A and B are shown apart, each in its own frame.
Chain A
Amino acid sequence: MSMFDYDARPVTPLPVLVGTTASRGAYAIRDFLSRNGYPFEWVDASQPEAVRAVLGVAEVEPSALPLCILPDGSRLASATVEQVAAGLGMIAAPSRSEYDLAIVGAGPAGLGAAVNAASEGLRTVVVEAVAPGGQAGTTSMIENLLGFPNGISGSELATRAVVQARRFGAELLLARPLVGVSADGPGYVAGLSDGTLVRGRAVLFASGVEWRRLDVPGIDNLLGAGVYYGAGPSEALACTGSQVVVVGGGNSAGQAVVRFSRYAQQVTLLVRGRDLGASMSQYLIDQLSGIPNVEVRVRTQVVGLEADDRLRTVIVRSGDSTEPARLPADALFICIGGTPRTDGAAGIALAANTAGYLLTGRDGAREPGSNWPLPREPLPLETNRPGVFAAGDVRCGSVKRCSAAIGEGSMAVALIHRRLAEVGGD
């Protein structure tokens, strides 16, 4: 047995991803693998010796990048997330023709519901577009979750929740977004991007939110090349010694700053509002104030970016100043607000507020055109479609906190039992 065992490196081959740091496609795969907790090796294609070590030649044809070498030695040229996911065996088919509950989204609300539903005997499936954990899964350390006095990282919380849900028999279908839902008798059929159909007697939307896009000229061309939406956990190590800018005033932005401050030379947090108190937990505000390489700039917005093959400078305007300032930046992480993820719900016309958040309970039934069909009122967390529920950040009026989302997911299961009893078979 080895005497040298302190890096915990897997002893079997890892997938190797070869690409450039300015590649959007390579970032998408890094982000996907990182968020799914799948260890991999990253090789920068601009480093000839590193490339030679894995491929035997010093250069790779640019059109073949990103190139993924799977653990069995096979290679995927111009690799996509979908190809890598399939190559690593991450794509599973549903084992049943019908489930009692189909949950859309594997964030805290979805996983909270999955654990409770499966533990109570409901045949449960969770469909997830990217990776378990949702936005919370990219959080470096959640310190206000009950029962974790020293905090727990978002990725570890997601890992444990997935293990727990699976132990009770819940299935998780990963790496395929929901593309549509349609009525199917008293239940529903959910269609996934690869054509997989999932039947559920009840559906829970726990699909969360995605980051709001920053409206700055040229930003889309820099995605993955220095500009990232979310906390970008795959990029933390790459930020060693660099200048990092984070945009946002919520807990996700604050936690991203804490993480990057451990690696970066300087982290600047840009906040549009007058102070952080309105949107960030006090414990995070206190932490930020004690980190020497963190600067918080309030009343500040990004107005421009400068780049060559990747981001170099963030141009900001602060307060009442008319003169923009230039911040040297190797990476910009955007953690602002959120847009509810309800794309797949269009087919069943769920009632939503003007921002797109799903209405539940009496609010949904009262909405003009909601067409609530039953003599009873909708249950709390039930949308305007009987048997379709919503929980967590995607729901109008939800509290945007991890513990609240877990609670809503758990609460939804109790209500779903009532719905299933109504249609028989529960």
Chain B
Amino acid sequence: MSLEFAELASDEQIAAAAAALEYNGIRSLLAATGADARRLVGSLLTGGAEVYNNTSQTLQAIGVADDIERSGRYQPLRLRLYRMDREMQRREMRSLAASPDYVVGSVHALTEGGSLLIASASGSQLGPLVSGAGHVILVIGAQKIVPDVAAGMRRIYEYCYPLEDARAQGAYGVPSGVNNILIINKVLAPDRVTAIIVKERLGF
């Protein structure tokens, strides 16, 4: 496993990535700490909205997953989906998961040129990020910033995948896989996607 991808980016790299995100149509916000990022996410979400929180070590670490699933301020779709009957309500599950008001998650790499890279074993989380969700909020630890897309791909395969595979084996008893990769280079809808860069090592 290459530890170069666990290193926090410099202030200059963070600034470059943030500016590039803005240029690419992605609103970028900076947070000094995870607690600050948590407050920012809270300020962006609308009370009562349907919110889907992607499985994310980052969101769990800073308390955002708790805020979404337990605060009562939102309609947490994970809880609603989890209790559905997979035999009888598969169609309802599909449409609910595909089009939340907000999806909150993270990424596996952010390039200094403002591209976002997200890998997925199932692919289920990619559709809402690209177009299904009304709004997308991504919380990104500054160790995920890489020079370019090629480095981002290396980060996914050499660093994220081994850690994620171990997590999936422990949590589900099955291997993970880099089965789908989403690269967001530019967003056309204004203010649809917000990236919060946190100057801390969060998630992997």
Contact = CB atoms under 8 A, between A and B. Distances in A.
Interface of A: 1-12, 34, 37-39, 71, 89, 140-141, 150, 152-153, 155-156, 159, 163, 166-167, 233, 236, 258-259, 262-263
Contacts of B75: 163
Contacts of A140: 85, 88
Contact of A11 (B69, B124, B160, B176): B69
Contacts of A155: 83-84, 89
Contact of B69 (A12, A163, A233): A12
Interface stretch (B33-41, B57-65, B145-153, B189-197): B57-65
A1 B70 contact: no
B203 interface: yes
Given A11-B65, A12-B69, A1 B121 contact: no
Contact of B83 (A38, A258, A263): A38
Contacts of A38: 79, 83
A166 B47 CA distance: 12
B55 to A, nearest CB: 4
B73 interface: no
Contact of B58 (A1, A7, A152): A1
Contacts of B58: 1
B92 A263 contact: no
A159 B75 CA distance: 10
- The B interface is mostly helix, strand or loop, or mixed, namely mixed
A181 to B, nearest CB: 30
Contacts of B124: 5-6
A6 B161 CA distance: 17
Interface string B135-174: 0000000000000000000000000110010011001101
Contact of A5 (B48, B54, B77, B87): B54
B78 interface: yes
Given A8-B97, A10-B82, A1 B105 contact: yes
B125 interface: yes
Contact of B85 (A12, A71, A159, A233): A233
B122 interface: yes
Report the 7 A-B pairs with minimum CB-CB distance, sorted nearest first. A2-B55, A6-B122, A262-B87, A1-B106, A8-B81, A39-B83, A4-B168
21 contacts: A1-B106, A1-B108, A2-B168, A4-B55, A4-B167, A4-B174, A5-B55, A5-B120, A5-B122, A8-B78, A8-B81, A10-B76, A11-B56, A12-B70, A37-B80, A141-B88, A153-B88, A163-B48, A167-B48, A233-B85, A258-B88
B178 interface: yes
Contacts of A9: 78, 82
A259 B84 CA distance: 12
Contacts of B167: 2, 4
Contact of B172 (A4, A34, A156): A4
B164 A10 contact: no
Contacts of A4: 55, 121-122, 164, 167-168, 171-172, 174, 176
A10 B48 contact: no
Nearest to A71: B70
A3 B70 contact: no
B118 interface: yes
Given A1-B203, A3-B164, A141-B88, 12 more contacts: A1-B57, A1-B125, A2-B56, A5-B54, A6-B124, A8-B82, A11-B55, A39-B82, A153-B85, A153-B92, A163-B48, A259-B87
